């Protein structure tokens, strides 16, 4: 919960009192929140600021992936795909796990063991740490494929993702109305809904429009989340002032 709170902020930092108060809003005692903060600092996930804490370490990497999810894919695509092939030499289990995680972060799907691919529509440099892992462990090939739409549907559960997105849109709509009406009681369920939306956006493969259905709900879900987050922050600030 503390991580999700900070992941939703720009910059990802907050005063200690506000961080603890936010935990209390969600039913977590102040003492428990402070213990969790201490453990996150010890784990390198938080760093102390002048009057609070900011994200650090692995959580900053997670934030970069989240930012990519919220922006979505660029509109332009030249039809090429990028394939990453891992050479056959043996790797340790942690190295294999690190490579799989990096591939997932970069939205590559596994064609088979050691071979990942996706449309070449994402810019370089968006996730430097993941890109460094992949570059050091795989060979990069770029080219076209036969029937790219069918291939995309075989690699990603596009229908399942779309169903989940529509469910979230339906869940967020009444909460949006409550926040627009300054209902502070919507903050707790709103936090849960916002976190669920961000998790779902991180599962979006960020494919080019040419490979998606015309009613693909990726852009509507992103736009709804931006409106929701703005209302949530406004009501949360008012709640803090009233304490």
Check: pTM over 0.95? Answer yes or no.
no
Where are the chain's structural domains?
2-56, 73-155, 156-242
Sheet containing strand 115-119, strands side by side: 109-112, 115-119, 81-85, 139-143
CATH of 73-155, one of 3.30.70.2650, 3.30.300.30, 3.30.1330.60, 3.30.830.10: 3.30.70.2650
Q: How many Cα neighbours within 13 Å face the side chain of 166?
A: 8
Write out pLDDT tens, residues 34-70. 999 999 999 999 999 988 999 888 888 788 888 888 8
Residue range 156-242 forms a domain whose CATH class is mainly alpha
pLDDT given at position 120: 95
> Does the pLDDT at position 240 exceed 90?
no
> Does the pLDDT at position 12 exceed 90?
no
**Contact of 118 with 109, CB cutoff 8 Å:** yes
Would you give the DSSP letter of residue 210?
Answer: G
Write out pLDDT tens, residues 127-164. 888 999 999 999 999 999 999 999 999 999 999 999 99
**Contact of 85 with 115, CB cutoff 8 Å:** yes
């Amino acid at each position: 919960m503390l991580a999700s709170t900070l992941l939703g902020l720009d910059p990802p930092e907050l005063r200690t009192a506000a961080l603890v108060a936010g935990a209390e809003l969600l039913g977590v005692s102040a003492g428990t929140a402070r213990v969790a903060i201490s453990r996150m600092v010890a784990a390198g996930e938080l760093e102390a600021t002048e009057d609070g804490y900011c994200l650090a370490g692995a959580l900053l990497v997670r934030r970069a992936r989240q930012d990519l999810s919220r922006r979505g894919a660029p509109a332009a695509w030249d039809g090429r795909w990028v394939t990453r092939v891992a050479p056959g030499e043996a790797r340790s289990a942690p190295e294999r796990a690190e490579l799989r995680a990096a591939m997932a972060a970069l939205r590559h799907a596994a064609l088979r063991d050691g071979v990942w691919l996706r449309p070449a529509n994402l810019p370089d440099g968006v996730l430097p740490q993941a890109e460094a892992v992949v570059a050091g462990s795989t060979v990069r090939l770029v080219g076209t494929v036969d029937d790219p739409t069918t291939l995309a549907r075989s690699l990603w559960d596009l229908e399942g993702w779309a169903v989940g997105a529509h469910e979230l849109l339906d869940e967020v709509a009444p909460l949006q109305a409550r926040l627009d009406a300054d209902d502070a009681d919507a903050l707790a369920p709103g936090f849960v809904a916002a976190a669920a939306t961000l998790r779902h956006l991180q599962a979006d493969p960020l494919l080019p429009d040419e490979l998606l259905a015309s009613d693909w709900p990726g852009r509507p879900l992103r736009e709804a989340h931006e409106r929701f987050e703005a209302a949530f922050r406004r009501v949360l600030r008012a709640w803090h002032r009233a304490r």
